[in-house]
Amino acid sequence: MFESFKYNDYYVVKIKGREATLKNAEKFKEYVTSIIKEGDHFLVISFEGVKYIDSTFMGALVSLLKYALFVKGDIAVANLNKDIYNLFCLVRMEKVIMIYDKLPDSFTGSFGRYSE
């Protein structure tokens, strides 16, 4: 359902499957929370191959972002198809989460959302 791996200076969580919905939102939240608790605070969620996302999964993503920011980390997304990218823009998610076309070379946070 999900796979994860270290990539340069951050962790990648890849959603396996074509849909990110209520059906897998809670498992996604638990999976990513466990990665953050293990000390990997900077993550990029890859939506490569995902064709559909629902509001429950988006809510899980926002919840995870809040948790990552709380532990002085951050979450970004990458590899969104056109429809999912448009949905992110429609609900103004691009204002709160960094969106990459592909996995970035480096990711150590964005927007200066917290200070040391």
Q: Would you write out the chain's pLDDT as a tens digit for each of its 116 residues?
A: 999 999 999 999 999 999 999 999 999 999 999 999 999 999 999 999 999 999 999 999 999 999 999 999 999 999 999 999 999 999 999 999 999 999 999 998 865 554 44
Residue 3: Cβ within 10 Å count: 11
- Give the span between the Cα atoms of 75 and 33, in whole angstroms: 12
Query: What is the structure's pLDDT at 108?
Result: 84
Two tokens, residue 15? 């959603």
> Whole-model pTM above 0.85?
yes
- Give the span between the Cα atoms of 41 and 33, in whole angstroms: 10
Q: Tell me which residue of 14, 44, 12, 10 sits closest to 1, measured CA to CA.
A: 14
Domain layout of the chain by residue ranges: 2-100
Query: What is the structure's pLDDT at 42?
Result: 96
CATH number of 2-100: 3.30.750.24
DSSP code for 111: T
- Give the span between the Cα atoms of 3 and 14, in whole angstroms: 5
